[in-house]
Structure 1
Amino acid sequence: MTPQAHPSNRAGLGVLACLAALAMLATNIILPTFPDIGRSLSVATQSLAITLSAFFIPFALGQLVVGPLSDRLGRRGLMLGGLAVLAVGSVVCALATRLDWLIAGRVIQGLGACVPSVLARSIARDRFEGPALSRALAFIMVAMAAAPGFSPLAGGLLSSVAGWSSVFWLVAVLTVLIGFLYTMRIGETHPPAARRQVSIAATFTSYFQLLRNRRFIAPAMAVGLASGGLMAFFAATPAILMDGLALTSIELGNFFAATVFVVFGAGIAAPKLASRWNAPSITAAGCAIALAGGIALLGAPEGLFSFSVSISVFLFGAGLINPLGTAMALQPFAAQAGAASALLGFLQMGMATLAITAMTALNGSAYRSLGGVLVMGMGLALMCLLLFGRSAPSADART
């Protein structure tokens, strides 16, 4: 299909951006409510990080199934089913009176949220190609970057007025509305004639081939580890700023919103820098910058100024890694685009789960634990690019 057959219209791209951002919205909008949830359910704020892992694990595993399944069955039915599951999970969370019910709701949310996350990229691939596809994916990634920054501010404002359960009701309502817009504006983009009857065995063989291919695994691991660091940052910051530094939920939301501009700035700079040098070099530089931010966080005195500066350095590096690393991982594999997209998403959520688990397992304050996780993760990301990416051809990775 060509861009002329499916013209790029703002409404359709807006719906795709909303679909892609839903998962991050469902994750991060609850962060300012952690202290309120902890008091309501009689659990420690830091222990509520388990609700993030409960979301990420099914989200990560579900992507491996949803991508190939949509190639066989089409997009529309799976999309609407996933949105319905996300809405149900949000209602379960809103009604939870015990931690185990909240965790169950988060698992259901994760299973539903993986569907729009994967299929937004697949639908963009159905509708566009060439430069139009690059522009569409860039727009979607901007929305995905904005959602984790601005959603905590919305969550803090809403919870301060209507209580912590209201943020889950908001996610449920937005999910239904976005599902309606999807039905009206987009619908099915993968007709029966284009569907591939690929066996489950062949699908997992394709995953195994990608994992063995240095052109995929080096940038994909960098993106995954950067995403893990970002999720660890979002998970730890409520305890650092609200419990440790006595910020209010609104102030926490403002802090998260401010960090979006750092990521935006890096996202704008990334393609310009890559065109002057090359994507692999700038991606490796992003890893080094993010690593420097982690080191600063680990060694700096605990305080709002030092935390803000250190985390801004990390975020700028991560903002360079994500768009360039994603392009490097997906561009050489047009024939395996669905599998590559699903596997990349799995690595992102899998690394997020590992990062949060490692952070909660480390002894020490949330401040130092976050610094340790960022240093380990970004050090490993830089190592992957230098060792495994060195021999990978880079002609297709230039942006």
Structure 2
Amino acid sequence: MMQLHPKVIDLSLGRMSRILRALGNPEQRIPPSVLIAGTNGKGSTLAMIRAGLEGAGKTVHTYTSPHLARFHERITVSGQIIGEQELTEILAECEVANEGRPITYFEITTAAAFLAFSRAEADYTLLEVGLGGRLDATNMVVPRVSVITPVSADHQAFLGDTVAQIAGEKAGILKSGVPAVIAPQVPEAEGVILAAAERRGAPLSLAGRDWQIWEEHGRVAFQDERGLLDLPLPRLIGAHQVTNAGTALATLRLLDEGDPERALTEAVWPARLQRLKRGPLIDMAGPAELWLDGGHNPAAGHALAEAVTRLSPRPLHLVCGMLKTKDVRGYLTPLARVAESLHAVTIPGETATLQAEQTAAFAREAGFTEVRTALGVERAVADIVAADPSARVLICGSLYLAGTVLRQNG
């Protein structure tokens, strides 16, 4: 697929409309769906909604992106990662339907996901928007519930220079008569989303107005018009995951389905402050801790910096690789306040990667005083552990770097 179609961003719904018509409009035959847009927290929120639904005995399809270790992760059918033969056959069917016409990699693989979901039984389909919302390939469905997680600056080249413009693109998933859950937003984003919902006649379940969630005495409390829930802290680490938990719980309330406690305690989402526990890097690290996170924008940097302060005290050292398209200084500035050093690496196999020397320069501008470059993650980890065997090593900066690590370590 990557040879046949460009892995580029070209936001439009025209090509999706065409191929879906050629396939018999499978998006109209999938189980009731939840469509999730936003800048940060989409995947974690989806994982919690899924855990809540499955915890109540429901069967769920999911579509997420990007993948980490292998493409198949993007598509789970009735709770199982799609099999090689089924994926191959469905992609081939989409190729025939496309008839050699222009289409992007994300568009044709999204069409394949819709086709797979339309042919298998499930109670719900959970769809993560790829980029933006209004013109994203996933926005061909009329969902049971729309969800917008926190909106902040990212992908400005495609979505707009301001948070308000970006919020307008995210709000493009709102549809007449379809209820929507809106996570806590900065004022400029919230105003745009509220105005879009009013124009389109989309009823809202709005954080701070219709529901709220807070941490108290080592647990979380969720409150809406239906009452108060007293629940364990989310399995996923960080204050931002409490926010994501609230968004997931509000969605389950609208669906009138799911197990709230399991939504929080059984959700799994790789490369979101994930502790690595096996693989060559672990063998090399000895008593040091290895953690992995794929966040890559300023909001993610702030959330990650807050989350690591909740871990037990250890000296924190970063191994960081990032893409050219990201606000590297904005991402690293909050992390410079909590980490003792940064080793910059080049992400292998990614044409859009920053070279290690460029990332190192941004790190110094962000406030890191001890900055080095390394030929790869393994070399960086080895150097850190040799200098400080009790280190906590956090590999971060990109989902693409995270995928490279996970293919060999978990």
**Bin of the TM-score, shorter chain as denominator length:** under 0.3
TM-score of the superposed pair, with normalisation by structure 1: 0.24
TM-score of the superposed pair, with normalisation by structure 2: 0.23
Structure number with the higher helix fraction is 1
Greater relative contact order, per chain length (Cα 8 Å cut-off, separation 6+): 1
Structure number with the higher strand fraction is 2
